């Protein structure tokens, strides 16, 4: 049973942060990092509410693991 849902976070050209789950069809965005985290939690809850009627391989209370991609140009 999967206990961790991993998200990749990127900052788009429009300035919004975009998060996408690696193993699930969960994608959300936020203008700030704090807004994004709230949106990730909400999107994950909604996704599993809909999937709860189907059998799932995910724990009822999974942890969220977030990766943030930082462009190399920031360090050059």
Please give the pLDDT value at position 68: 64
Mapping DSSP to helix (H, G, I), strand (E, B) and coil, where does residue 28 land?
A: strand
Place of tokens 């059998």: 55
CB 66 within 8 A of CB 40: yes
- As a CATH number, domain 2-70 is 3.30.2390.10
Please give the pLDDT value at position 20: 92
Please give the pLDDT value at position 12: 84
Q: The tokens of 1 are what?
A: 């049973």
Q: How many other CB atoms are there within 10 angstroms of residue 69's CB atom?
A: 8
* Closest among 48, 49, 43 to 30, alpha carbons compared: 43
- For the chain, which residues score pLDDT lower than 70? 1-2, 52-61, 67-76
Secondary structure E strands in the chain = 2-11, 17-21, 27-30, 58-68
Global pTM reads 0.71
Please give the pLDDT value at position 58: 60
């Amino acid at each position: 049973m999967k206990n961790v849902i991993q998200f990749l976070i990127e900052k788009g050209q429009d300035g919004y942060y975009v998060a996408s789950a690696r193993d699930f069809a969960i994608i959300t965005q936020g203008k700030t990092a704090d807004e994004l985290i709230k949106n990730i939690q909400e999107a994950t809850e909604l996704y599993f509410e809909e999937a709860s009627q189907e059998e799932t391989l995910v724990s009822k209370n999974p942890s969220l693991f977030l990766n943030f991609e930082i462009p190399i140009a920031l360090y050059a």
